[in-house]
Chain A
Amino acid sequence: MTEELDLTTLSVEELYEVMGDDLYDGYKEEVVEGVKEALSRNVAPYDVLTSGLVAGMEIVGNDFRDGVLFVPEVLMAANAMKAGMAVLRPLLAETGAPSVGKMVIGTVKGDIHDIGKNLVAMMMEGAGFDVINLGINQSAENFIAAVKEHQPTFVGMSALLTTTMPYMKVIIDALKEEGLRDQVTVLVGGAPLNEAFAEAIEADAYCRDAAVAVETAKKFAAIRRQRAAAS
C-alpha cells in the first residue's frame, strides 16, 4: 500500500529515503520516478547513484545477509535498482563519473550448476554493478571474448564440482596469455572452493557467498578508484 506521495515537495535527502524504501519494496516505476525527480533538481547523477540507489540497496543486501529478506524480494529490489540504473547510465557516462564496476560472470566449462552464480549476479546488479552473465559451461575462449568485448573490471567464476574447479586455473592462465589478467580482478566461488584454492590458482579472492562477493567486489572497486585518483 503506497499512499500518494508528491515527490516534488520532498527535499533531496527525503527523496533518497523514499527511494530506499521503494527499492526495498521492489517498486520499479517508483524508483525510476525518484531518480528522475532527483535529476530534475540538478543533483549529479553520480550522487543519485551512490547516495540514492547504492545506499538503498546496501540495506537490502544487509537484510538479505541477516536472513530478513527472501530471495525473490531481493530479486525484485535488484530489478528496481536496474531500472533506476538504466536512467542513470547514459548520464553517468556523459559526466565521466566513475562506474561502480562491471563484472563478467559465468560457470566454468564442464559445470552446469548455476543457482549460486545467478544469486551472485543478482546481488551484484543490486549493488549497482553492471553484470554480464555468460551462463553455464563457459570455456576460456568465451571468457576471453567477453572480457575483450565488455572490458569489465571483474571476472567472476563459479564451479560446484571438484572436477571442474581446475578449469578456473585454465581461464586465469588464458587471461594472462592474452595480457588481460592485470585489467581485471578475478573473484571465484562455489561450495567446494576455499581461500587456499583461490590463492593456488592466483585468483584475487574467494567469495563464500553472494553477500561476501558484493562486499569483496566493493572493496576492490574502492581500491581501484583510489589508485585511479592517485595516478
Chain B
Amino acid sequence: MKRRERRSRRRDTGSARGVPAVIPIINKLPFTEVLDDNGVQAIHQASMRLLKETGILVIDYPPALETFRKHGAKVDGEMVWIDEDTLMHFVQQAPATFSQLARNPTNTLTIGGRNTIFAPVYGPPFVADLDRGRREATLQDFHNFAKLTQMTPYLHAAGGTLVEPQDIPVAERHLDMLLAHITLTDKAFMGSVTSADNARDSVTMAQILFGADAIRQTPAVLGLINASSPLRFDDRMLGALEVYARAGQAAIITPFIIAGAMSPVTMAATLAQQNAEALFGICYAQMLNPGTPVIYGSFLANIDMRSGAPCFGTPENTLALYAGAQLARYYNLPYRSGGNFTASRIPDAQAGYESASTLWPTVQAGTNYVLHAAGWLEGGLISGYEKFVLDSEMLGIMARYVQGISLEEDDFAWDAFAEVGPGNHFLGSAHTMRHYETAFYQHQVFSMDNYEKWEEEGKEDSYKKANAVWKQMLKNYQAPPIDPAVAEALNAFVEHRRAEIRAGKPRSDWPG
C-alpha cells in the first residue's frame, strides 16, 4: 500500500518524462531587514528631494518629456523634475501583485507577495564550459540554455537573453531568441528591449501564442528596463517601456548601479538615488497606462576602486539589497534583485563564495523576481554551463529553506521517540520511513563521498561533476508539446519579420 503510494508520487513529479515539474517558492520565513521605519522614511525623503531638486535626465526621447509635462512634472530641455504628490499619485496605481502567463498554465507566475521567482542569467555575450573554455555565444548555446532552463525545476521563468547569439545578425536576433523561448520551454519569458520595434515584435509573438485578448487581461511579456544611472533614462529603454506599458505588458524597472562610479560611494545616497530612478520609471509606466504591472528593480554592485570593474557579493551590496526590498514593500511593489553573482571567470571558490553571498540575502530579503539566478560568471560577461548547474543546486537548497520549520504534530515525531527510545538510532523507525525521501534536501551535484571513494572514482571536483550533469540534462531534454497551428503561425511571423528587417523595414506591418 505504502509502496504503491510512493510510486505514484514519483510519477507525479513527471520524472518519467525526463522533465521535472517546476517547484514554486513561497517564502514562509520572516524577511531580514536592515532599516527601521525611520530609515526607510529617510531614504524615501532623500529620493523625493533628488527628484524634485536634482531631477532626471531623459535623453533622446521627447515623447517621454511630453508625457511627464502633461501629467504635472516640470520639464526643461531634457530635464524632468517631479514632486512627491505627483509621483506617488502614479506610483500607487501599480499593482502589488500580478500574474505573468506561461505556455504551460501550471507555470504561470504570481509575481509579488511572498513568492520568489528564479530566472536564468541574462545578457552575456560569451559562454564557457569546462571542455571548450570561453567563446562567443551562438544560437546553439541559446538553445542549450533554454533547454537547461526547462529541465531545472527551480527555475520558474524562462528568462530573456540567456546568451547573445552572436552568429545571428543583430537586427533579427530577438526573433530567434523569442522563438526559442516559446518553443523550447513552456515557462514565462521576457521580451526584447533593445528597441521599441523589437518590443513590438515581442508583443506580437505573445499575441500569436496566447491570443490578443488573453495578454490584455494578463501580461505575457516581461521587459527588463534599465535606468542609465546616475539619474538618467535613454530612448531605447523608455521606448521599449512605452510599448510594453501601452500593450498592458509588464516591466522590471531597474537602476543598475555600480556604486562609486554611477552613484556616490555611500549606501544611503546610493539607495536614495536607486529609489528615485526606479520610482521615476514606474511613474512613467503608470502615466502611460494606469495599472501597468511593474517590478521595482535593484541591481547594486560597487566599483573595484583599484580597477574600475564591478564587484559582487560585497557586504555593502548585501545591505543595499535588503534595504531595497524594504523600500519596494514600503511602496507595495514586487521586488527584483540579486542572483548568483560573481566577478570570477570560472566556477572556482571565488565564484562559489560570491554567489552564495548574494543568493542568501536575495532570498532572505523576500525578493520576488530573481534574474541571473543560474549561470552568471565574470560580472555578466559569461553564461557558464557548469555554473548554471552549480547555481541550480543552490536554488534547490533555497526552495527548501524558505519553507521554514514545520511544527505539525507529526513533525514532533513522538512515535519515533516511542519506538526508538534513548541511545538507539532513528534510521529504521516508522517515522523516518514515512519522511526520509523528502526530509532533507537531496543534492544533485554536490558530492558527499569520502576521500577514498572520491579518489577511486577519478577525483571529480564539482566543476567536473557539473559538466557531466548538464550534458545529461541536454540528453534527457524533451520539448514541451506545442499546438502545431500556433507553431506554424509563430514561424510565419518570424520569417515575415526577418524578411522585413532584411529589406530595411523598421516596423512590422503584421496585422494585429
Contact indicator B306/A69 (Cβ below 8 Å): yes
Contact indicator A116/B170 (Cβ below 8 Å): no
A210–B308 Cα distance when bound, in Å, is 10
Given contacts A71-B305, A71-B308, A112-B234, contact A163 B170 (CB under 8 A): yes
Chain A CB within 8 A of B164 CB: yes
Closest to B265 in A: A72
Closest to A135 in B: B59
Closest to A119 in B: B308
Q: Which of A62-90 contact B (CB under 8 A)?
A: 64, 67, 69-72
A137 to chain B, nearest CB (A): 7
Tell me which residues across on chain B come within 8 A of A192, comparing CB atoms.
125-126, 164, 381
Contact indicator B125/A71 (Cβ below 8 Å): no
Tell me which residues across on chain A come within 8 A of B260, comparing CB atoms.
71
Contact indicator B60/A137 (Cβ below 8 Å): yes
Contact indicator A71/B306 (Cβ below 8 Å): yes
Tell me which residues across on chain A come within 8 A of B173, comparing CB atoms.
163
Chain B CB within 8 A of A191 CB: yes
Tell me which residues across on chain A come within 8 A of B262, comparing CB atoms.
115
Q: Which of A85-125 contact B (CB under 8 A)?
A: 110, 112, 115-116, 119
Contact indicator A110/B236 (Cβ below 8 Å): yes
Q: Which of B161-220 contact A (CB under 8 A)?
A: 164, 166, 170, 173, 194
Chain B CB within 8 A of A162 CB: yes
A64–B306 Cα distance when bound, in Å, is 7
A72–B304 Cα distance when bound, in Å, is 11
Tell me which residues across on chain A come within 8 A of B261, comparing CB atoms.
115
Given contacts A115-B261, A163-B170, A163-B194, contact A70 B305 (CB under 8 A): yes
Contact indicator B164/A162 (Cβ below 8 Å): yes
Given contacts A70-B306, A162-B164, A192-B381, contact A112 B258 (CB under 8 A): no
- How many Cβ-Cβ contacts under 8 Å join chain A to chain B? 44
A72–B307 Cα distance when bound, in Å, is 10
Given contacts A162-B125, A192-B125, A192-B126, contact A71 B303 (CB under 8 A): yes
Contact indicator B308/A116 (Cβ below 8 Å): yes
A162–B303 Cα distance when bound, in Å, is 23
Given contacts A119-B308, A163-B170, A163-B194, contact A137 B234 (CB under 8 A): yes
Q: Which of B231-275 contact A (CB under 8 A)?
A: 234, 236, 258, 260-262
Tell me which residues across on chain B come within 8 A of A116, comparing CB atoms.
308
B347 to chain A, nearest CB (A): 19
Count how many chain A residues have C-beta atoms less than 8 Å from C-beta atoms of the other chain.
20
Identify which of B194, B228, B307 contacts A67 (C-beta below 8 A): B307
Contact indicator A112/B308 (Cβ below 8 Å): no
A55 to chain B, nearest CB (A): 23
Q: Could you give, for residues 45-72 of chain A, a 1 whenever the CB lies within 8 Å of some chain B CB and a 0 otherwise?
A: 0000000000000000000100101111
A205 to chain B, nearest CB (A): 20
Closest to B258 in A: A115
A120 to chain B, nearest CB (A): 10
Contact indicator B170/A162 (Cβ below 8 Å): yes
Q: Which of B338-396 contact A (CB under 8 A)?
A: 381
A162–B381 Cα distance when bound, in Å, is 11
A175 to chain B, nearest CB (A): 21
A71–B302 Cα distance when bound, in Å, is 13
Tell me which residues across on chain A come within 8 A of B164, comparing CB atoms.
162-163, 192
A110 to chain B, nearest CB (A): 7
Q: Which of A115-152 contact B (CB under 8 A)?
A: 115-116, 119, 137
Tell me which residues across on chain B come within 8 A of A166, comparing CB atoms.
170
Tell me which residues across on chain B come within 8 A of A163, comparing CB atoms.
164, 170, 173, 194
Identify which of B170, B194, B381 contacts A191 (C-beta below 8 A): B381
Tell me which residues across on chain A come within 8 A of B166, comparing CB atoms.
162
Given contacts A115-B262, A191-B381, contact A137 B305 (CB under 8 A): no
B457 to chain A, nearest CB (A): 38
Q: Which of A182-217 contact B (CB under 8 A)?
A: 191-192, 209-210
Q: Among B170, B228, B236, which residue has the most Cβ atoms of chain A within 10 A?
A: B170
A137–B235 Cα distance when bound, in Å, is 11
Contact indicator B308/A115 (Cβ below 8 Å): yes
Closest to B124 in A: A192
A166–B172 Cα distance when bound, in Å, is 14
Tell me which residues across on chain A come within 8 A of B234, comparing CB atoms.
112, 137
A61–B125 Cα distance when bound, in Å, is 30
Tell me which residues across on chain A come within 8 A of B303, comparing CB atoms.
71, 115
Tell me which residues across on chain B come within 8 A of A162, comparing CB atoms.
125, 164, 166, 170
Q: Among A137, A166, A209, which residue has the most Cβ atoms of chain B within 10 A?
A: A137
Tell me which residues across on chain A come within 8 A of B170, comparing CB atoms.
162-163, 166
Tell me which residues across on chain B come within 8 A of A209, comparing CB atoms.
307
A30–B60 Cα distance when bound, in Å, is 42
Tell me which residues across on chain A come within 8 A of B236, comparing CB atoms.
110
B387 to chain A, nearest CB (A): 18
A216 to chain B, nearest CB (A): 18
B234 to chain A, nearest CB (A): 5
Closest to B126 in A: A192
A62 to chain B, nearest CB (A): 13
A137–B170 Cα distance when bound, in Å, is 17
B260 to chain A, nearest CB (A): 8
Tell me which residues across on chain A come within 8 A of B60, comparing CB atoms.
137
Closest to A66 in B: B306
Tell me which residues across on chain B come within 8 A of A119, comparing CB atoms.
308
* Extra contacts besides A112-B228, A137-B60, A161-B125 (13): CB < 8 Å: A70-B305, A70-B306, A71-B307, A115-B262, A162-B125, A162-B164, A162-B166, A162-B170, A163-B170, A163-B173, A191-B125, A192-B125, A192-B126
Report 16 cross-chain contacts, Cβ distance below 8 Å, ordered by A residue.
Answer: A67-B306, A70-B306, A71-B307, A72-B305, A115-B261, A115-B262, A137-B234, A162-B125, A163-B164, A163-B170, A163-B173, A166-B170, A191-B125, A192-B125, A192-B164, A209-B307
Closest 4 CB pairs of A and B: A192-B125, A70-B305, A162-B125, A162-B164
